[in-house]
Amino acid sequence: MIYLGIFNRKQKKVDNKFSIIPSHIAIIMDGNGRWAKKRGLPRTLGHKAGVEAIREIVKECSKIGIEYLTFYAFSTENWKRPQDEVNGLMKLLVQYLKGEFKELDRNNVVINYIGNISKLPEICQEELIKAKNLTKNNTGLTLNLALNYGGRDEIVYSFKNILKAYDQGEFSIEELNEEMISNNLYTKGIPDPELMIRTSGEERLSNFLIWQLAYSEFYFTDVLWPDFKKDDLYLALKTFERRDRRFGGLK
Ligand code: IPE
Ligand code: IPE
Ligand code: MG
């Protein structure tokens, strides 16, 4: 038998012991449409299958002890898609929050969102706010859903907040620093992701967390999001474990 090593995902035998784990993982869940197309299914069924993958990965990350998990669920650019698909995604979001709430709460998960949710259908906003309020005292994994999220939009949002404070005379231009910009982003109070995963073979950020990912490790995989299972997560974490993070310094 040829030994293929632990990095062959087909072997499905990646162990889940890690010497170091990221406290924050950010995921660009991509490939739902292609997953559906391969099966001759409508794109919406690809998104539905994608929700199943979210369930498994949230559970796994919770178990491993990841503190923050951010999912890119809907970008500021995704409004360009056909109305039917957009509606389907919004419906899935509500179904997910309603259907999964009890289980997430039982698992001590804090539900949070980033992005300009005021542009989402009202029912989505209501479910998000409710879920956030009801889980705010939980102490486990923070599940961060990026919705109508764009990294550039977020930086504009941060600058607007900062300029309001500047208008009030709260600081001088010389005092403006990186921390102030970070503290006025949607992700205020959340550490920058150490690991960013993108599925489906695309290797770009698509306007995701452009400020926060400045020093993150990137992990790209050809696996389509609905096929991304716990072993794929372990593989990403094993790869992260071997990365040599220098932050501009020396070993
Ligand atoms: C990612 O899958 C999900 C969202 C953007 C909401 P896609 O829908 O982008 O899938 P592909 O890229 O068309 O395969
Ligand atoms: C990024 O995926 C957005 C989400 C996963 C929500 P897209 O599929 O929309 O990105 P592009 O169009 O390939 O850059
Ligand atoms: Mg895509």
For range 102-130, the mean pLDDT: 98
Q: Determine what percent of the chain falls in helix, strand and coil, rounding each to the nearest 5.
A: 45, 15, 40
The pLDDT of residue 12 is: 54
Q: 201 and 220 in contact (C-beta within 8 Å)?
A: yes
The pLDDT of residue 251 is: 81
Rounded to whole angstroms, the Cα distance separating 226 from 210 reads 25
Domain boundaries, the chain: 24-151+192-242
Rounded to whole angstroms, the Cα distance separating 115 from 98 reads 20
- Does this model's pTM top 0.85? My answer is yes
The pLDDT of residue 7 is: 47
The per-residue pLDDT for range 1-49, each reduced to its tens digit, is 344 444 444 545 678 889 999 999 999 999 999 999 999 999 999 999 9
The per-residue pLDDT for range 143-159, each reduced to its tens digit, is 999 999 999 999 999 99
The pLDDT of residue 4 is: 42
Catalytic residue among 8, 16, 30, 107: 30
Distance 205 CA to ligand 1 centre (A): 13
For range 193-218, the mean pLDDT: 98
Q: Is 30 a catalytic residue?
A: yes
The per-residue pLDDT for range 47-83, each reduced to its tens digit, is 999 999 999 999 999 999 999 999 999 999 999 999 9
> One-letter amino acid identity for 204?
R
All residues with CB under 5 Å from ion ligand 3: 30
- Vertex 93 angle, CA 90 and 58, to 5°: 150
* Mean of pLDDT over the chain: 95
Distance 97 CA to ligand 3 centre (A): 22
Q: Which atom of ligand 2 is nearest to the CA of 202?
A: 13
Is 80 exceeded by the pLDDT of residue 89?
yes
The pLDDT of residue 16 is: 80
Catalytic residue among 16, 78, 107, 138: 78
Distance 47 CA to ligand 1 centre (A): 8
CATH class held by domain 24-151+192-242: alpha beta
Rounded to whole angstroms, the Cα distance separating 67 from 69 reads 7
What percent of the chain clears pLDDT 90, i.e. is strictly above it?
Answer: 93
SS3 assignment, position 148: strand
Residue 110 carries which DSSP code?
Answer: E
Q: Which atom of ligand 1 is nearest to the CA of 31?
A: 14
Is 60 exceeded by the pLDDT of residue 238?
yes
